[in-house]
Chains A and B, each alone.
Chain A
Amino acid sequence: MLNIAYRLTDDYDEACEVVQDAFVSAYKNIKTFRGQAKFTTWLTAITVNLSKNRLKQMRSRQGHVAFSLDDPVQTDDGEMTLDPPSKEPSVLSVLEKRDFRNRVQECIKALDPGFREVLVLRDMQDFSYEEIGSMLKAREGTVKSRLFRAREAIKNCLKKVVGEL
């Protein structure tokens, strides 16, 4: 559960909070669990949902900061529009210093949440398509195509970062 939350939120402390909330929530709503699915599936679904909500909160919190990188900067010669260099090389250079696993993690982080959750649940947690479908309330076909795209994205990301797989 912690790993799912961690992979979905990218924040260890937040993930811990999510796990706590998930257990409390499960404790409160144990009556609603009717044994239709496996208990782990039910618990994981709660964790995924809470992680998603947490992620939204985190993003909206960041969004509240009224600051833009594109804002003009005051210099000696007057106002100047900021033209930052592309992030790519710097990310690359940072990643080069880390080991391969960290690079894979960075690539997973870069995924969209919708793709990321499928990838995490399938490749890291080994849930079946059916279970993932019931957790995310999505059809199996959707899960399959999302998983394919997520894997492709990771593959491309790794290729870009490392060069060869």
Chain B
Amino acid sequence: MDHNDIRHKLSEYIDGSVSAREKAGIEEHLKTCAKCSDALNELRKTVQHIKAVEEVDPPAWLARKIMAKVRAETKEKKSAFQRLFYPLSIKLPLEAMAVVFLAVTAFYLYQNIQPSQKFAEAPQTRVAKRDANRETGTSPRLKQVPQAPGYKALDMKPEYEKPAPPVPLGKTVPATEGMTQEKRLAAPQASSTDMMREQGGPVKDFAVKKEAKAATPALSAKAKLRAAADSTSEKNHLTLNVQDVAVAAQNIRKLLAQREAKLIKQEVAADAIIMTISINPSKARSLVDELKSIGTLKEKDMDIEQYEETVTLEITVMRPAPGVQER
């Protein structure tokens, strides 16, 4: 080893990390080389100075802060976990349940409010509408079609597609005529009744015939009931304006009893009673005449005579609404 090598090894020599052979060589050289021994001394002193440099003390808060940071780290992991999975597992079903709850509540509220509204408004608005239609002739269908037995079905849209009231065999023809008139309205381009029959008639005709058969004199009690129920779908509406609804209703009930009429349904509102009755057509006319003596009767053009067995009348007994009275 030459002088330079030994100088480079001095650092290791201080640390005692040189091999025994190197150590012997270095010590041999140091005896003769003053420069190297000076360098070694300086190096030793330098290292001593470096080692003597005082250490800094950690601030008191460091340990606490480190622990807080580590805890925050674990918490952060947890909260991130929650952020990912909380909404899916818990939040979403909760939200869904809330939405369903709101929907159900809204539905029930609507359901509860709707019938009472309908009931409260029904008699007056219905009468007003009907009167308006009759007086002004706003309905285009009414304008076009001369009033025929079957046209009423047109006036009541929801009942349009329902089967015609049971009619006896003998009266099938006018009913069918009414129906063909309906059809003509639905398809104005069709020119003849025969054509109509070809297009869609047979099925309907068949239905009419079937019902007509059911209404023959050999009618069973069950069939009668059905007929009555069916006939309700095509009620004849009467509106009776009276001052005292209760008394009028009492009188009507008496009249009904005299004529063996059946009270099918009775709806009572604040100032009105709607009675649905079924009566023998032969007695219906006299009933209508009697009603005129009780109060002001407004009747739609009825053709009571078309019915043989029973006719269904819907009598609305009410105090005259201001709007109606004016007219």
Contacts and interface: CB of A to CB of B under 8 A. Distances in A.
Q: Do A and B bind each other?
A: yes
3 tightest A-B CB contacts, nearest first: A148-B11, A155-B46, A165-B45
A129 B11 CA distance: 12
Interface stretch (A15-23, A45-53, A57-65): A15-23
A144 B58 contact: no
A24 interface: yes
A165 B59 CA distance: 33
B70 interface: yes
Contacts of A159: 42
Given A19-B62, A108-B53, A124-B53, A154 B73 contact: no
Contacts, number: 82
A124 B50 contact: yes
A101 interface: yes
A1 B114 CA distance: 78
Nearest to B77: A28
B66 interface: yes
Contacts of B65: 16, 20
B104 to A, nearest CB: 49
A8 interface: no
A105 interface: yes
A115 interface: no
B66 A23 contact: yes
Interface residues of B, number: 28
B187 interface: no
Interface of A: 2-3, 6, 12, 15-16, 19-20, 23-24, 27-28, 100-101, 104-105, 108, 119, 122-124, 129, 144-145, 147-148, 151-152, 154-155, 158-159, 165
B11 A24 contact: no
Given A20-B66, A27-B70, A151 B58 contact: no
Interface in B224-260: none
A2 B50 contact: no
B327 interface: no
12 contacts: A2-B62, A3-B56, A12-B56, A16-B59, A20-B66, A24-B70, A104-B49, A119-B50, A124-B50, A155-B43, A165-B42, A165-B45
B56 A24 contact: no
A47 to B, nearest CB: 12
Contact of B53 (A2, A105, A145): A105
B194 interface: no
Contact of B50 (A12, A108, A145): A108
A2 B56 contact: yes
B69 A20 contact: yes
B52 A101 contact: yes
